[in-house]
């Protein structure tokens, strides 16, 4: 993928986001674009950066750390969005500003303990397995209230909201349903610090924005197809 293609794709995605914001009567710039750069080389990230993109999401710790080193001079905000193994929490806690994929108290406690002194709290979202698929990470919706209560107590984390990867659907109304359900469940918690809905990927960003997404996580539409089509988290 060339520099120009990434620049063009970025423009198009921003136009789609703006249009979806308008369609949902939401304020301009209420949705943040997170560029998902897993499996893509540092050059692709640099191209998007040069075109103005600042937030990048990665799924694999070792791969992410290598890219962070290569791009050390760039003012990038790094988000971890992949499944979390307990033996990787220290690297994640220290090298990312955001983690979208927290799905147990054990992992949350480790991230809080390992964040390191003098750092701002780590922004975290709880991943909810909203379509209740066996193959996906994430807590059940029924666990959300309890885990929110527990994670909110951890000193070096800032609980920001939820992340979801619903089962793929092509129909717009069907794409909206799981996001609507999760949005309402979060609203029912009545906790104003929960301001983040990490909803929507390349194929369902309009539906996600119509149901309250504040961060959309876009890989393919920005960087092109991934050679390694490993299933997402």
Ligand X SMILES: *Cc1c(COP(=O)(O)O)cnc(C)c1O
Catalog residues that contact ligand X under the rule CB under 6 A: 36, 38, 59, 81-82, 165, 201-203, 217-221, 232-233
Our CB check for ligand X shows the closer of 156 and 220 to be 220
Q: How far is the CB of 211 from ligand X (least distance, A)?
A: 16
Q: How far is the CB of 190 from ligand X (least distance, A)?
A: 27
What is the residue whose two structure tokens read 């990867």? 165
Residue 139 DSSP label: B
Cβ distance to ligand X smaller for residue 156 or 224: 224
Nearest to ligand X of 176, 217 (CB atom)? 217
How far apart, in whole angstroms, are the C-alpha atoms of residue 10 and residue 48? 7
Q: Which residue is nearest to ligand X (CB)?
A: 219
Cα–Cα nearest to 205, from 11, 33, 52: 33
- The DSSP symbol for 28 reads T
**Least separation in angstroms between CB 124 and ligand X:** 14
DSSP 175-207: HHHHHHHHHHHHHHH--TT--EEEE--TTTHHH
Measured from the CB atom, is 122 or 221 closer to ligand X?
221
Residue 110 or 219 having the CB closest to ligand X: 219
Contacts with 69 (C-beta within 8 Å, 6 or more apart), sequence order = none
What is the closest distance, in whole angstroms, from the C-beta atom of residue 169 to ligand X in the complex?
13
Please choose, from the candidates 213, 215, 218, the residue with its C-alpha nearest in 3D space to the C-alpha of residue 26: 213
Shortest Å distance, C-beta 63 to ligand X? 12
User: By C-beta, is 38 or 176 nearer to ligand X?
Assistant: 38
Q: What is the dihedral of CA 119, 123, 187, 217, to 10 degrees?
A: 160
Could you tell me whether strands 77-80 and 98-102 are parallel, antiparallel, or unpaired per DSSP bridges?
parallel
> What is the smallest separation between the CB atom of 35 and ligand X, expressed in angstroms?
9
Phi, psi angles (nearest 5°) of residue 71: -110, 30
Task: Tell me if residue 68 falls in helix, strand or coil.
Answer: helix
């Amino acid at each position: 993928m060339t520099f120009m293609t990434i620049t063009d794709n970025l423009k198009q995605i921003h136009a789609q986001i703006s249009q979806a914001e308008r369609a949902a009567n939401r304020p301009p710039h209420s949705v943040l674009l997170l560029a998902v750069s897993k499996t893509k080389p540092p050059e692709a990230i640099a191209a998007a950066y040069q075109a103005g993109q600042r937030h990048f999401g990665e799924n694999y710790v070792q791969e992410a750390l290598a890219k962070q080193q290569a791009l050390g001079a760039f003012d990038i905000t790094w988000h971890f969005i992949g499944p979390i193994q307990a033996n990787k929490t220290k690297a994640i806690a220290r090298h990312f500003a955001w983690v979208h994929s927290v799905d147990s108290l054990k992992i949350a406690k480790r991230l809080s303990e390992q964040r390191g002194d003098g750092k701002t709290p780590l922004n975290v979202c709880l991943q909810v397995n909203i379509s209740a698929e066996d193959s996906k990470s994430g807590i059940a919706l029924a666990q959300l209230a309890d885990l929110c209560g527990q994670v909110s107590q951890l000193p070096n984390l800032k609980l920001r909201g939820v992340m979801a990867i619903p089962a793929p659907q092509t129909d717009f109304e069907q794409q909206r349903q799981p996001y609507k359900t999760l949005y309402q469940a979060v609203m029912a918690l009545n906790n104003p610090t929960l301001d983040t809905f990490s909803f929507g990927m390349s194929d369902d960003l309009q539906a996600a924005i119509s149901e309250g997404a504040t961060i959309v996580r876009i890989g393919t539409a920005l960087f092109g197809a991934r050679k390694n089509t490993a299933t997402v988290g």
